[in-house]
Structure formats: C-alpha cells, structure tokens
Amino acid sequence: MKRIALIAGATGVLGRAVCRELHACGVLVVCGYAGRRQEAEALAAELGGFAVELRSDMELAETVRAVAERHGGLDILVNAVGMNREGSAVALSQEEWRCVLEVNLDFAFGLTQAALPHMLLRRYGRVIHLSSVAGRIGGRGQINYAVSKAALERMVRAFALEVGRKGITVNCVAPGVIVSDMTERVRAEHGEALLSNIACRRFGKPEEVAKAVAFLAGEDANYINGIVLPVDGGMLL
C-alpha cells in the first residue's frame, strides 16, 4: 500500500525537491500550494499525484480532511513553507515581524494540528518541518526569521513528546545555505565569508535536503523523534 504524503510549499525550490524525492521512494504525493496553482498542478501531473490549495488556518482542517478522505488517509506531512523579510532589529516594523511569524510558525502549527487527527486514527504518521540553521545562530537583519525558526523547533519537540506514544514522529530538517531563490542575494554578496564557515566549503543542493526529509519520512526512521537534523555541510561546527 502506498504511503500518502502532503507537502506544503510544494512549488518552492525545496518543496519541489521533496516532492520528487518522495515520489521516487514510491509515495503518493499531494502538492500543497498557495497562490501558484499552475506550477503545483504541473508538478502533480509530472509525479502522478494531486495538487491542493492550502489557505487560511480556518480552512486548513477542512482541506486536510478532504485530502485524507480522498486518498484513504494521510501518512506523511512535510511543511516546506517559509518566508523571510530582512531588516534591522531596531527598525523592523510590526507588520514585517508578524507576517514572518504567521507564515513560518502559525501556519506550521495549524497545519500540524490539522494533520495529526488523521494519523492518530491509524496510530502512524511522519511530520517533518523545514527549519533553518538561522534558528540556532541567528543572522544580522533576520531577527523575525531566526525567532520563527527557533520557535518552530521547540514546537516540533512539544508535538513529538505528545504524539510519540501513538506511533507518530515529529522532526525538523534544518538546512544551511542551500542554492535557492531565497539565498541568492546573500550568496552573491557574502558568498566567500559564508563558505569560510562551512566545513564542506560549498553550498548545499535542494536534493540533499530532500533526501534527509525522505529518510525521516521512511521506515528506517521509526525510532527518531523530536530531533532537528542539520543539513548544512558543517556550518554549525
């Protein structure tokens, strides 16, 4: 029987890589999107899966329920949704603070809450959130992003503690500097300085993050719960 996976943020660089990797592992992929319908539907068609729009928190539970009913359950949830609005901590506006926390933390909480009841019914599930090394080391001009990712990691541990006894694991993958649209500017402006702090002396590939996600989503990770797995080339060393 095929496992069913819902990937939120499927149209982003990391989300697409996760969708393709899970598909290669024999998982039926449901591509969750917000505002990029054509891209999500094209990806779903490529992988023989489906696309679904993930909107406000009030609608998440209903949307996830519809996914579970259509496919006979929900085994894997991957949250690859994230945003960053850079700015000085002193000058950051309330809007810039709130919007990043709403996307990176509030949405993650609502999505996990919506998915867990369907996993609890079968006493099986894998929940994986994409965090960031910024959650541990911060970053100049990224106070909102760093705080949201640090809080996300603590949230994951709390969920893991509560549902672990029910056969459900909840984990994080924390990428370092990965080649993507989000890191393009910082790689261009601070590439050499960043590389000097990465033991592998290169930036990561989306596919390397996706393989870590697929491992945590698979049967070999049955006894791994509540962790934050860095995929950063040794940046945190």
| DSSP annotation of 78 | E
Provide DSSP, 125-183. Answer: EEEEEE--THHHH--TTBHHHHHHHHHHHHHHHHHHHHHGGGTEEEEEEEE-SBSSSTT
Measured distance CA(204)–CA(234) in Å, rounded: 11
What is the tally of helices (H) and strands (E) in the chain? 9, 7
Q: Which of 33, 124, 145, 223 is catalytic?
A: 145
Measured distance CA(162)–CA(203) in Å, rounded: 35
Q: Which residue has tokens 């370092």?
A: 176
Measured distance CA(125)–CA(115) in Å, rounded: 9
- Both tokens of residue 128? 């994986």
Tell me the residue type at 237.
Answer: L
Measured distance CA(148)–CA(220) in Å, rounded: 29
Measured distance CA(237)–CA(232) in Å, rounded: 10
223 is catalytic: no
- Active-site positions? 145
